Amino acid sequence: MNTTAAAFTTARETKLVARITSDQLIGALDAPVGSAEFLGVLAPSGLGSPAHFVGTRVDGQAHEDVVLVYGSGSRAVTRTWAKSLESTNEVVYALVSDTSTSGYVSR
């Protein structure tokens, strides 16, 4: 799967961010990921099942953040997850920002 990776440099660090589309989300993984890949788990903001995607490591590293944009124009929604746990083949991301709600998001 191709994720769009971008490196953002702040005053303190460079952050690797994946930009994905809803088409790249998968329900379940049929086969193990390759050595340069990982299974990304996007934790839900409330009740419900997490979403998954297959990401590609950049220089051996998984993305620090994942950004999902869906919809268009004034109805575009952006959700951002930050890496919270990492194992050999799986990286879990916690929701940190969601423009579809005006409620409270906790990390």
What pLDDT score does 2 carry? Answer: 46
Q: How far apart are CA 17 and CA 31, in angstroms?
A: 25
Q: Domain residues for 80?
A: 4-98
Q: Note the Cα 34 to chain centre separation in Å.
A: 18
> Side-chain half-sphere of 31: how many Cα atoms within 13 Å?
4
The number of folded domains in the chain is: 1
**Average pLDDT along the chain:** 81
Whether residue 30 lies inside any domain: the answer is yes
Q: Is the pLDDT of residue 10 over 60?
A: no
pLDDT in tens, 32-68: 678 889 999 999 877 888 889 999 999 999 999 999 9
pLDDT confidence bin for 15, thresholds 50/70/90: confident
Residue 41's nearest CA partner among 86, 107, 88, 96 is: 86
**Whole-model pTM?**
0.75
What is the H or E stretch that residue 51 is in? strand 51-56
What pLDDT score does 28 carry? Answer: 63
Residue 93's nearest CA partner among 104, 106, 80, 103 is: 80
What pLDDT score does 12 carry? Answer: 58
What pLDDT score does 65 carry? Answer: 96
Q: Is the pLDDT of residue 101 over 80?
A: no
Q: In this structure, what token pair is assigned to residue 72? A: 């268009």
